[in-house]
Structure 1
Amino acid sequence: MEFGFAPEDEGFRREARAWLEEHLDAGPPARQDWERALGRGGWIGLGWTEGGYGNRQATLTQQVVWAEEYAHANAPTRSGHIGENLLAPTLIAHGTQEQKARFLPTVARGEELWCQGYSEPGAGSDLAGVRTTAVRDTDTYHITGQKIWTSLAHEADWCFVLARTQPESTRHHGLSFLLVPMDQPGRVEVRPIRQLTGTSEFNEVFFDGAVARAEHLVGGEGNGWHVAMSLLGFERGVSTLAQQIGFAEELGRVVETAVETGAVADPVVRDRIVRQWAELRTMRWNALRTLGGRTDPGAPSVAKLLWGGWHRRLGELAMQVRGAAAAVGPVDWAAAAPYELDAFQHLFLFSRADTIYGGSDEIQRTIIAERVLGLPREPKG
């Protein structure tokens, strides 16, 4: 596969780098302010296949350039990722013209933030086990149920919810994909989940008769499984390359620490470092191959398996090269309590979840086995 950057791509790179330098010069901005700045600059929605919604058009290689420059600039973590990279492509593929006209411009301007209502207690990565219900009453749906591990729900204006609209349906039948406003006091409640890291990126969301307009049903009633699976395919796109640049920077810091502590003298540690480097290069070429269109139905699952396990092993390696110091907090406990984790401690603890969220390793292997290798379906108990 040939994947290179043309002169016009390098011009695009200079423009992106200059814009990022100018807007990050004053220091890290507030998350919502940053989204709107990106929107004003036309940097949201570069990969959308439809223009006219406030986004500039960019080729695939230019999208890669933007993702790389964004990561190299150490720009803020995006709070608009779910709306831009998950909801928008799904609406472009399955939404009505009215839905596109209503929601795409506000995402492109960084004005409305989204979260994803998929996982549930007792179902986890098994989306076919959804129990949240949506009952239609003329021109509205009333949604009742609970979602969990919902990223950014505490900041989001909207949530796309997978709910069961046919009461007697089972598994992937009878599900629908609904767009639900989060600002419904008494009907939508968000509870942050405190993690091992002490932070709360994830949330529980409770729907108690929450209202969604019938015109905000995407893909038709009962067709939610198809829409949801389509969305998951969009989840592993150009942004994975930016993720890998972040991984490379983390690996670089681990190598530096190994040299500082003398851990690099251990041949086992050196072997692990080389393996991490080689696997990261493999992930990059696999991502480029996938973006180039030479892919298969299992490609998203393969990518998730690769990076999830890789990142968790990096967290373990970070602890190993630090030695005993990795297990303790600040020296001055009285002044530091409650203390914050350092970068390596946070990496180790947070990366424990990488093989679970976004579809656990077990689910990804089942997808590959059934949809790619054609193996018999696992019997349901």
Structure 2
Amino acid sequence: MTAAAHVGPADTTADAAFRTEIRDWLAEHLTGEWAALKGLGGPGREHEAVDARRAWNRLLAEHGWTCLGWPVEHGGRGLGPAQQVIFHEEYARADAPQTVNHLGEQLLGPTLIEFGTPEQQQRFLPGIRAVDELWCQGYSEPGAGSDLAAVSTRAVLDEGDGEWVLDGQKVWTSLAHESDWMFVLARSEPGSSRHHGLSFLLLPLDQDGVEIRPIEQITGGSEFNEVFLTGARTAASMIVGAPGDGWRVAMALLGFERGVSVLGQQVGFERELQDLLALARDNGALDDPVLRDRLARHSAEFEMMRVNAVRSLTAATPGADNVAKLVWAGWHRRLGELAMEVLGAGSLTTSGATYDLDRWQRLFLFSRADTLYGGSDEIQRTILAERVLGLPKEARG
């Protein structure tokens, strides 16, 4: 039971050369002090070697390995989807550390390139590219998680001071405690509801009006945060798009989130699967015919997931992003469950200090959230039902 090393069209000559270039660069540089960072970071492990991973991310930037898909005039390399996919595949296969700049590089940067003013682009894009400023995402709230249109954080323009004033609370804000700025979806038109009257704002976090409280997770880490905004301020010019047009900008940003980096995610999943199969062989769990059948089925499901991911990048299929989220979230969550069965009774204890989880225990615990964050399974199915299949809309109170 092995997963394919590559799914999709064969590399062109130019793509093959690029694959060799990034593979050789990683082999040359992931040595010495950097070798200790291999495999660190990622969901449930973002607390690992944050400063060292940021230094590694800056090394990538110095050598032109950040912002690959950005236009050249904005500091990127202008690479197409195929070569971006190759980079993410080879980066994952090299077991390189998780970068610290995903939200800025993959989400906000492309959003500013499409919707931002020249002044905003000049102010923020160089800092994102060089990994000098880190960003977090101020979307979810206690009463607005997957139902993002229910946000209630308020933004009022103080024309006298020329600043937006924000009051409200954001929650599950990934890496807010490590970030310099937050892009915020806030309600800027009193009396508005749902996706109307929202604005997309850029907010500096180092100010008295912002309080960040890390949330201790079941994995023992605290990569998520509550962010309390009490009279927090940002310049009037720090709005992306027009006032009240925040929903369109926010949805465009989420579209960038489901881009080519998903193929890198798939390679990470492939490594987890192969490592779990190796563990099952070593500890004898693979001799159990029922468990062996489930592992074989999971391997086949991975192949289909990879094919679907490639197809979603090459064909504009309505609802493809929602289907992909449903598929990978459920698959990864079940992988965590399989890991506990492969470990057997040992999955219930730790071998080191109190609550010193191993990689499989951490995978199991964190993957319980896969079907919730980024839009729950229920929300994904509702979107598919209403927007793709044309079924009657769900009644909302």
Q: 2:248 aligns with which of 226, 230, 235?
A: 226
1:237 aligns with 2:259: yes
Q: 1:215 aligns with which of 212, 218, 237?
A: 237
Q: How does 1:303-342 map to 2 (within 5 A)?
A: 303-330=324-351, 336-342=352-358
**Could you say which residue in structure 2 is the equivalent of 1:264?**
286
Structure 1 residues 17-26 or 345-354, which shifts more?
17-26
**What is the CA deviation profile of residues 133-165 of structure 1, one whole-angstrom value per residue up to 9, with x for unaligned ones?**
000012210011111111111111111000000
**What is the CA deviation profile of residues 348-376 of structure 1, one whole-angstrom value per residue up to 9, with x for unaligned ones?**
00100101111111111111111111111
1:299 aligns with 2:320: yes
Q: 1:290 aligns with which of 293, 306, 312?
A: 312
**Could you say which residue in structure 2 is the equivalent of 1:86?**
107
Please say if residues 69 and 76 of structure 2, whose CA atoms lie closer than 8 Å, have aligned partners that are also in contact.
no
**Could you say which residue in structure 2 is the equivalent of 1:247?**
269
**Could you say which residue in structure 1 is the equivalent of 2:46?**
none
Structure 1 residues 297-306 or 309-318, which shifts more?
297-306
**What is the CA deviation profile of residues 323-371 of structure 1, one whole-angstrom value per residue up to 9, with x for unaligned ones?**
11111112xxxxx433410011001001001011111111111111111
Following the alignment from structure 1 to structure 2, what is the Cα–Cα distance between the partners of residues 256 and 32? 32
**Could you say which residue in structure 1 is the equivalent of 2:20?**
14
Amino acid at match of 2:112: L
Structure 1 residues 269-278 or 200-209, which shifts more?
269-278
1:371 aligns with 2:387: yes
**Could you say which residue in structure 1 is the equivalent of 2:90?**
69
1:115 aligns with 2:136: yes
1:134 aligns with 2:155: yes
1:39 aligns with 2:61: yes
**What is the CA deviation profile of residues 273-321 of structure 1, one whole-angstrom value per residue up to 9, with x for unaligned ones?**
12211121112111111211x1233111111111111000000000011
Please say if residues 54 and 99 of structure 2, whose CA atoms lie closer than 8 Å, have aligned partners that are also in contact.
no
Task: Name the Cα RMSD after superposition.
Answer: 1.5
1:96 aligns with 2:102: no
Following the alignment from structure 1 to structure 2, what is the Cα–Cα distance between the partners of residues 167 and 22? 56
Compute the displacement of 1:2 (Å). 6.7
Equivalent position SS for 1:309: helix
**Could you say which residue in structure 1 is the equivalent of 2:376?**
360
Unaligned runs of 5+ in 2: 1-6, 38-50
**Could you say which residue in structure 2 is the equivalent of 1:350?**
366
Following the alignment from structure 1 to structure 2, what is the Cα–Cα distance between the partners of residues 45 and 31? 17
Following the alignment from structure 1 to structure 2, what is the Cα–Cα distance between the partners of residues 98 and 88? 14
Q: How does 1:271-282 map to 2 (within 5 A)?
A: 271-282=293-304
Following the alignment from structure 1 to structure 2, what is the Cα–Cα distance between the partners of residues 301 and 51? 31
Following the alignment from structure 1 to structure 2, what is the Cα–Cα distance between the partners of residues 24 and 261? 31
1:198 aligns with 2:220: yes
**Could you say which residue in structure 2 is the equivalent of 1:333?**
none
Please say if residues 196 and 349 of structure 1, whose CA atoms lie closer than 8 Å, have aligned partners that are also in contact.
yes
TM-score by length of 1: 0.95
TM-score by length of 2: 0.91
**Could you say which residue in structure 1 is the equivalent of 2:3?**
none
**What is the CA deviation profile of residues 81-140 of structure 1, one whole-angstrom value per residue up to 9, with x for unaligned ones?**
011111111112221222222211211111111100000002211111101000001221
Equivalent position SS for 2:68: coil
Equivalent position SS for 1:253: helix
Equivalent position SS for 2:186: strand
**Could you say which residue in structure 2 is the equivalent of 1:177?**
200
Following the alignment from structure 1 to structure 2, what is the Cα–Cα distance between the partners of residues 35 and 158? 18
Compute the displacement of 1:16 (Å). 0.9
Residue-pair matches, total: 373
Please say if residues 213 and 227 of structure 2, whose CA atoms lie closer than 8 Å, have aligned partners that are also in contact.
yes
* Cα distance change on mapping 1:117 and 1:297 into 2, 3 Å: farther
Following the alignment from structure 1 to structure 2, what is the Cα–Cα distance between the partners of residues 295 and 212? 37
**Could you say which residue in structure 1 is the equivalent of 2:9?**
3
Equivalent position SS for 1:178: strand
* Cα distance change on mapping 1:245 and 1:135 into 2, 3 Å: same
Following the alignment from structure 1 to structure 2, what is the Cα–Cα distance between the partners of residues 108 and 3? 30
Following the alignment from structure 1 to structure 2, what is the Cα–Cα distance between the partners of residues 199 and 103? 29
Following the alignment from structure 1 to structure 2, what is the Cα–Cα distance between the partners of residues 231 and 268? 43
Structure 1 residues 146-155 or 12-21, which shifts more?
12-21
Structure 1 residues 148-157 or 24-33, which shifts more?
24-33
**Could you say which residue in structure 2 is the equivalent of 1:156?**
179
**Could you say which residue in structure 2 is the equivalent of 1:24?**
30
